[in-house]
Amino acid sequence: MDTTTSDSAPTSTASTTKTALPAPLTLPVVLVGVVLVAMSISGTAVALPNIGRDLDTSGSALHWVVAGYNLAFAAMTLVAGSTADRVGRRRVFIVAALIFAAGFLATALSPSIVIADIARIVSGAGGAGIMAAGGALLASSYDGAARNRAFALMGTMAGIGIAVGPTMSGLLISATGWRGSFAVFTVVGLLIALGATRARESRATDTRATDWVGSVLFIAALTLLMFALLEASALGWTHPIIVIAAIAGLVALMLFSAVQRRSTSPVLAPSLVANRGFTGWSLATLTTSIGFLGVLVFLPTYLQAAAGLSPAVAGVTMLLLTAPVLVMPMIAVTLVNRGAPAHLLILIALALVVVGNLWLMTLSAEHTVALVAGPLLMIGIGMGASFGITDGQAMSLVPADSVGMAAGFLNTLRGAAEALVIAAFSASLIGLLTSRLGDSTDAAAVSAGDLGSDPTAELDAFTWSWQMTQLGVGALCLVLSIIVARLIFSRASASQHAR
């Protein structure tokens, strides 16, 4: 087994010595699971119009077909990772794939939007287990440069899933209908579960009881806080339900923190969060996700409304953002395995994301495609490089018994970032449009690309709202990047002194 180390830390703190090569199917099964989960995250929105017509629904109820999945994914990933450490990473992966498949089957057979929303929540919980247990399987099966390559491939598969998800979902819906498209995901999920039976089982050597109190508190905290943010744009921040949900979520989060400090088998070990290097790499993946997701989800609507592009041409334009995510993970990890400092590469990636988002403040209804080409490439390259190195570097700093927890934490950050960024980006656009147009109904319509009786004024307002939102996103990414640099460089400096 390759034991080349990264520049972040000695491998002795990351894993135990492997006594055998990993089972041949471990890597391909995990990678197929990752791409399937990523496709289900980015592609489901394409089915919403068909689902709405078939189930005679719209508005918030239809919105939760996507939001419910994202919420369950974010809330369950950390719990799934910690559970995998205790009861077995392969076992949790298989059960999660079965839950994922069952949720998609229930969605395909749903007679009402309520059943569909519940089924999507089930699928999200299964997807969380696939990502967390899959990352833990790779971390426990590979060392050094081999581990870096495995996680780079995992990042590449996630990028492929995000990039092709909308296109593949559209093709499946055209060929089989929206119910048939969900049935296809069911079949692939079952095949993943079957393939995972050939992987080698691993678990933590310390198998104390699961911290159920901590698990419930964490799920409750994240669910309440994300519900408040997702529904605030519709109900208003001062609505009693939103206020109660936000306060209850914060209280649950504080209780969770207190419980974890006293638990003998915490869901999220305080020592993991206190690890400056691991926290720095975790914040790096959070930062790139923030800079990437809002553009990925909302720019196609602007391109169609402002530049008059067809959906197909807008999708091709978005390849400037998504194509680099397909190739950069392996380029980045190859550079690290050949001796390039990983902490310098991630800072370059973060700088590209920050500059790309701030550059999008030049967005205009004229020459739109030319104006966005440079920023999209920068953000895509930064995101792709981050996919290639952050997980491997973070996991190299984690004890072998905690790799499931660590993988769960990383994917929780990604899942939470996805749901929160989409909600916050939408709320920002609609809020800014409302301040310009003076009518929340018109603002919501414009944000969806529906220009009304005064298209020139509405397009100007839409462009200004985009520019101001990008200023906020770019500034947030800049602040987080500075924090990441401080954490990672302090860790790298400490490692050098230790040698």
155-187 confidence digits (pLDDT tens)? 778 778 877 777 787 788 878 888 998 999 999
- In eight-state DSSP terms, residue 192 is H
Question: What is the rounded distance in angstroms from the CA atom of residue 363 to the CA atom of residue 26?
Answer: 44
Question: What is the rounded distance in angstroms from the CA atom of residue 291 to the CA atom of residue 293?
Answer: 6
Residue 21 half-sphere exposure toward CB, CA atoms < 13 A: 6
pLDDT digits (tens, 9 = 90+) for 246-285: 999 999 989 988 888 887 777 777 777 788 888 899 899 8
Where does residue 168 rank: exposed (0-12), middle (13-18), buried (19+ CB within 10 A)?
middle
pLDDT digits (tens, 9 = 90+) for 357-384: 999 999 888 888 889 999 999 999 999 8
Query: By C-alpha distance, which of 161, 164, 148 is closest to 388?
Result: 148
Residue 312 has pLDDT above 60, yes or no: yes
Q: What mean pLDDT do residues 389-409 have?
A: 77
Residue 11 has pLDDT above 50, yes or no: no
Amino acid identity of 134?
G
Q: What mean pLDDT do residues 392-412 have?
A: 76
Residue 271, token pair as written in the block? 């020592």
CA distances from 87 to 77, 193, 201, 202 (A): 15, 17, 10, 9
Q: Would you state the pLDDT for residue 255?
A: 92
Query: By C-alpha distance, which of 342, 328, 39, 321 is closest to 164?
Result: 39
Whether 79 contacts 219, CB under 8 Å: yes
Q: What mean pLDDT do residues 190-216 have?
A: 80
Q: Which CATH class is domain 22-202?
A: mainly alpha
Q: Look up the CATH number of domain 268-499.
A: 1.20.1250.20
Domain range list for the chain: 22-202, 211-264, 268-499
Query: By C-alpha distance, which of 132, 390, 387 is closest to 283?
Result: 390
pLDDT digits (tens, 9 = 90+) for 101-140: 999 999 999 999 999 999 999 999 999 899 889 988 888 8
Name the 3-class secondary structure at 21.
coil
Residue 493, token pair as written in the block? 């400096």
Whether 64 contacts 234, CB under 8 Å: no
Question: What is the rounded distance in angstroms from the CA atom of residue 462 to the CA atom of residue 421?
Answer: 19
Question: What is the rounded distance in angstroms from the CA atom of residue 412 to the CA atom of residue 223?
Answer: 12
Same fold flag, 22-202 and 268-499: yes
Q: Where are the alpha helices (DSSP H) in 438-454?
A: 440-447
What is this structure's pTM? 0.72
Q: What mean pLDDT do residues 400-404 have?
A: 71
